[in-house]
Each structure stands twice: as structure tokens, then as C-alpha cells.
Structure 1
Amino acid sequence: MNGILPLWKEAGMTSHDCVFKVRKILRMKKVGHTGTLDPDVDGVLPICLGRATKVAEYITDSGKSYRAEVKIGVSTTTEDASGEAVEAKQVFQPFEIEKLNRILSGFTGDIQQTPPIYSAVKVDGKRLYEYARKGIEVERPTRIVRIHHIALHEESVRLEDDTCTFTIDVSCGKGTYIRTLAVMIGEALGYPAHMSKLTRTSSAGMTQKDCLTLSQLADLAQDESSVQNRLLPIESGVSQLKKRIINDKVASKVKNGAVMEIPEDWNAGPKELVVFIHENRALAIYHLHPSKEGLIKPVKVLWTD
């Protein structure tokens, strides 16, 4: 089978657990996920099957949306509910919705984030969580991430156990840590905070309505065609990239990974990727040649036959 399986990951499982179970259910080895979701997080996890594993990185780099519960008044070691409490400050009354909306709007656009110490970001070849587990302090790299949209989810503000909890909807670019965003929101309000719950609501345009659970997949697996009918085409994994329709002559060159002259109507910048489409099939991904002026070269060939 070849295609993208939009899987609804249940809480309590790692992304690698999901890949292992899909391999077992479908009895195939070429299976890969498209970005790690923490065990406590549920939601959309696109799984690539067969040839679709070639586009996994582009799904990982695409935009994602989340629904997060933010708890103001307590911070934790991991910035989420799985960590130990670090600091507490009593919240006496729920925050006004107008104030929250004003604070949240300040996080729209490009913002600086420092990844959590308990994260998979690498420093000197090791994951940050490896340092954290050994109690080793290490300087974490600050980076720029993009928040496309952030808003309070309905009137979800409530006061409980000396803390104030509310839910936000966030659409963001790659590399964004929602738990760190929750901490930053707390800082803007003048309180310690953490992310108490998280659901990924979409990834590369795939939402819950597109997804199967592992148990549903197991039921469908009795008939391979039933599973294939639920898969999304490889092209959906590169839908966010620029497209170029090519003819038969160019397609034969593209399938062989040919370096070619820049077409006259080429409209992509130096770092932009362009998907070459022939007969509704994505054959390859091209960009400007990094060292030879006037040429384009493939970043990845998706189909050779």
C-alpha cells in the first residue's frame, strides 16, 4: 500500500508505538510517522505508508493546529501536566476575557521561544531530555517560530483550586512548542503556568474527520482495499508546496532525476520547493541548483516508473 493514513493518536502512546502497531496491523515494514507527539497528547498523526514515506518530512514541516488547556498559577518541570510542580502563585479570580484576548493577540506572528529542557531538541548531538534526566544544565537555543492564529476557545475561563484554567486554539508553524507558549502566556499575565492538556486538531490540512483510530484500522485491515480507500494520496503530503504541470517529455527526464535549465516561467525563489506534476501524480520535488546558475535540480524523486 502507498499513501498517507491520517491516524487519530490516543493519549498514552508514543508516535513510535503507533508506527509499530500500524506495521503489525497492516503487515508491512515501510511505515513512518510525521512528527513526534508526546504520549499525553492525542490528535491527528499522519502516518506514511510505502512510497509516501518519501514525503514525510514535508508533512512534518507543514502547519499544524492545536487545542490546548492552559493552567495559570502553577509551573512544572516539563511545562506540562506530567512534570513536578516548581512554583505556585494563587489566582484569586478568573481573568477577564477581554484581558486574555489582548494578551493572546500579542503572540500572533513570529515569536522567540526557548525549547523546554524536557524536549527532543538536540544540543551537541544529544537530546535535551537526556541532559535533564542526568541533572545537567545546558544552554538551550532560542529560535523564532510562527503563530498564525491564537484565540480563546469559547468562554472557557474557570477558577479551580487557586488556579485559573482556559482553553486556546492555536495554528502554528514547525518547531512551535505549545507547552512553552502556555508558560509564556502565564508570564505575560504575571503568573507561573503550564499546559495541562493538548490535542492536535489538524496536520497538513488533515483533521479528525479524516482520521482512523488503531482499532478502526484493525477492523478495516481484513480487506486491503478498504484500507487503501481510506488513504490519502501522496500528493496531499506536498499540497502546501508550489506546483508545476509538466508534459510527457519533461516527465521522462524528471523520473530520472535530471538536472535541467530553468524554465522561462519559473517563479520560485532560491529556497522554494516546486512539485512537478504529471497526469495528476507528483513525480519529483525541484529547486534552484545551489551551485550552478541557470539550472534546477531535484531535491527528491518520488516516482521512477
Structure 2
Amino acid sequence: MQQNKNIDGIIVVNKPRGMTSFDVVAKVRRAVGQKRVGHAGTLDPNVDGVLVVALGKATKLIDELQKRRKQYVGTITLGFATETEDLDGTVISEIPIQKPFSDSDIDQAILHLNGEIKQVPPMFSAVKVNGKRLYEYARAGEVVERPVRDAMIYDFKRTSDVIYQNQQQKFDFEATVSKGTYIRTLAIDTGTHLGIPATMTSLTRTIGSGMTLDQASELSDIMTLERTALLELIIPIKNLLTWPSKILTDDEWFAVKNGQKITTWPASDKYLQLIYRDEIKAVYAYNKEDGIWQSRYVFANE
């Protein structure tokens, strides 16, 4: 695709399995013909579903997009565990289930994992310990103490009958969670409450950064669309923000475009989208300690 004016916004991709999130970003980067591209929330290679890819100035919003709730559907299998907590890893524990767990037993285990919980990240994850990612330790055969992390599980529930086969049990689930939640570990912890090894055997993200699977485009389509059609898939920055808006006067715009702090606006615990001549220029945040409004994101200064 020939070089054109940079695109600012997001494109929602239905990431296929067998591909890293970085691979998807690289392909979108080629499709749109610009360098400034990133994603809001990594998906493991064997996970498909919603991957929000930010373009141009929208990359500044990645930290905010990642704070939004995520939703997944998948399958948990009871009776064995792997080193990666999913099907990518070698089996490290296996206990044949002689007497199947009841639906009630499984539902009670799931119920224990709703609300605020603590999680220990998988060894095969990108969390850093002493400046080194956990998966680097794991690949070297080293085990290190992992940090305990907070997670919020808004809704975790079983969505199918429990199937008993080959001395294992499996069931489908849906989970709506906060940023930083490891769904693989949610599967492991379900097994822990039952006293049995468990593995997440399939996973699809259905909602990410507030975007749904219905809004997602196939990566193969994105790679082949003409630019005009591709642009129709872009969600602009103004459609991503939910904070209150303020229309700037000429004097206010002069102050904002020069990065000045504002003391005359009423205090608020919400960010302000700043609009000038029908264009979003910046987002300001109120600093309660100093009693001033100051720049949080800048999208344009001209």
C-alpha cells in the first residue's frame, strides 16, 4: 500500500490462533502503511478473538484501553495440568478422575473465584522478576518466586454441561475480568479448589477494551482491502473516549496547545476531552493536590 496520511484510531482484529499479538501488529502496520501501531492487551498464540490495534495518536490511549473489562469464553479440562497451564505445554501432572465431580462441586469452585482474588502469574508469562521475564526463567529450567497479583473477576461461570470422558471432565465457561487477569490461572485455580490438576484447553476473547467480537475484522480481510475500504474499519479517537467534553475558547486553546496548566476550571474527578473547532485536541486531568488541570494526552497542538 502506498504511503498516505497517517491514520489515528483503532481497528478491531479477530486474531487467529497460531499467531502472536506482535505478528498481528506487524501485519496491520504493513496494511495501513505506517509505523506507529500497537495493541491493547496481549493474546497468547493459541488464543483467538478480540485484539484491539491502535494506530497513530490512538497509541497514546493504550493504557486507558487496557483498563477496560475483558470477556472470554473457553473450556477447562480437569484431570491433568501442563507447564504452561494450557495445551502448549508438556503435561506435568495427571490424576485420573475415578468418581466425577458433581455440577454443584464445580460450580462452588468457580464461585470461590468470583470477586477480588489473588493470582500467581504462570511461569510461562511476560511478567518480569529481577528484570527478566518469567518465560525466560521457565525456558532455562529455572523456577523463581513469582509476585502475587490482584485481579477482579466480575463474572466467572460455567456455560455448558460437564462432560466426563477418558477419566477427565471438561466444561465451557465465560469470564468477565479486569486487566492483568490470567485466564489460564483461573482454570488452574478452579482445579485447586477441587483438589485436581486442571488445564485451560481452549480460549477466545469476546470483548477487549470495550470492543466486541462482532466489531472485529478478519486479519486476512484487513491485509487485502483497498485503503478506502480499510479506512471504513477504523474507529476514530473521538469514538473511544467517554469522558466529559469541553469546547475551548481561543484563549483556552492557546494555553492548551502550549501545554499550560489551568486553574480556572471547576475541579472534577473525571478527565476532560478538550475540543477546538470540532476536533479533539487533548485530554486534561485534574490534580487535586495542586488544584490544577494539566495535560494527560495530547493529540494535536495546531
TM-score by length of 2: 0.90
Greater CA drift, 200-209 or 91-100: 91-100
Could you give the per-residue CA deviations for residues 177-227 of structure 1, whole angstroms, max 9, x where no partner exists?
A: 00001000001111111111111111122111111111111232x2x2211
Which whole-Å CA distance do the structure 1 matches of 2:131 and 2:279 have between them? 38
1:95 corresponds in structure 2 to: 101
What secondary structure is seen at the aligned counterpart in 2 of 1:145?
Answer: strand
Which whole-Å CA distance do the structure 2 matches of 1:282 and 1:140 have between them? 42
User: 1:5 aligned to 2:17?
Assistant: no
Contact 2:13 2:219 in 1 (8 A): yes
- Select 2:213's aligned residue among 208, 213, 236: 208
Which whole-Å CA distance do the structure 2 matches of 1:198 and 1:262 have between them? 50
User: 1:195 aligned to 2:200?
Assistant: yes
Q: Which amino acid aligns with 2:244?
A: K
Which whole-Å CA distance do the structure 2 matches of 1:177 and 1:92 have between them? 29
2:285 corresponds in structure 1 to: 287
Contact 1:183 1:193 in 2 (8 A): yes
Which whole-Å CA distance do the structure 2 matches of 1:213 and 1:301 have between them? 31
CA shift, 1:258, in A, is: 1.9
Which whole-Å CA distance do the structure 1 matches of 2:171 and 2:280 have between them? 42
Which whole-Å CA distance do the structure 1 matches of 2:210 and 2:54 have between them? 15
Q: Which amino acid aligns with 1:289?
A: N
2:111 corresponds in structure 1 to: 105
1:243 corresponds in structure 2 to: 244
> Superposition RMSD on alpha carbons, in Å?
1.9
What secondary structure is seen at the aligned counterpart in 2 of 1:120?
Answer: coil
Alignment of 1:250-265 (within 5 A): 250-261=252-263, 263-264=265-266
CA shift, 1:294, in A, is: 1.4
2:295 corresponds in structure 1 to: 298
Contact 1:10 1:41 in 2 (8 A): yes
Question: Structure 1: where are the runs of 5+ without partners?
Answer: none
What secondary structure is seen at the aligned counterpart in 1 of 2:24?
Answer: helix
- Identical residues among aligned pairs (%): 36
Contact 2:65 2:209 in 1 (8 A): yes
CA shift, 1:157, in A, is: 1.5
2:3 corresponds in structure 1 to: none
What secondary structure is seen at the aligned counterpart in 2 of 1:260?
Answer: coil
What secondary structure is seen at the aligned counterpart in 2 of 1:45?
Answer: strand
User: 1:31 aligned to 2:37?
Assistant: yes
Could you give the per-residue CA deviations for residues 150-187 of structure 1, whole angstroms, max 9, x where no partner exists?
A: 1111x232112211111110111110000001000001
Relative to structure 1, is the Cα distance of residues 236 and 80 closer, same or farther in structure 2, using a 3 angstrom cutoff? Answer: farther
1:161 corresponds in structure 2 to: 166
2:234 corresponds in structure 1 to: 231
TM-score by length of 1: 0.90
Contact 2:118 2:149 in 1 (8 A): yes
CA shift, 1:76, in A, is: 0.8
Contact 1:238 1:275 in 2 (8 A): no
User: 1:127 aligned to 2:129?
Assistant: no
CA shift, 1:120, in A, is: 0.1
CA shift, 1:49, in A, is: 1.3
CA shift, 1:281, in A, is: 4.7
Relative to structure 1, is the Cα distance of residues 257 and 202 closer, same or farther in structure 2, using a 3 angstrom cutoff? Answer: same
Q: Which amino acid aligns with 2:258?
A: N
Which whole-Å CA distance do the structure 2 matches of 1:282 and 1:9 have between them? 30
Which whole-Å CA distance do the structure 1 matches of 2:253 and 2:153 have between them? 38
Q: Which amino acid aligns with 2:191?
A: G
What secondary structure is seen at the aligned counterpart in 1 of 2:205?
Answer: strand
Which whole-Å CA distance do the structure 1 matches of 2:280 and 2:129 have between them? 36
Question: Structure 2: where are the runs of 5+ without partners?
Answer: 1-6
User: 1:60 aligned to 2:62?
Assistant: no
CA shift, 1:94, in A, is: 4.4
2:20 corresponds in structure 1 to: 14
Contact 2:82 2:199 in 1 (8 A): yes
Relative to structure 1, is the Cα distance of residues 252 and 225 closer, same or farther in structure 2, using a 3 angstrom cutoff? Answer: farther
User: 1:278 aligned to 2:283?
Assistant: no
Q: Which amino acid aligns with 1:58?
A: E
Which whole-Å CA distance do the structure 1 matches of 2:81 and 2:210 have between them? 32
Which whole-Å CA distance do the structure 2 matches of 1:127 and 1:3 have between them? 30
Relative to structure 1, is the Cα distance of residues 80 and 287 closer, same or farther in structure 2, using a 3 angstrom cutoff? Answer: same
Q: Which amino acid aligns with 1:36?
A: T
Relative to structure 1, is the Cα distance of residues 71 and 252 closer, same or farther in structure 2, using a 3 angstrom cutoff? Answer: farther
Which whole-Å CA distance do the structure 1 matches of 2:116 and 2:238 have between them? 29
Contact 2:282 2:299 in 1 (8 A): yes
Which whole-Å CA distance do the structure 2 matches of 1:101 and 1:281 have between them? 50
Relative to structure 1, is the Cα distance of residues 108 and 236 closer, same or farther in structure 2, using a 3 angstrom cutoff? Answer: farther
Which whole-Å CA distance do the structure 1 matches of 2:279 and 2:157 have between them? 37
CA shift, 1:282, in A, is: 4.0
What secondary structure is seen at the aligned counterpart in 2 of 1:129?
Answer: helix
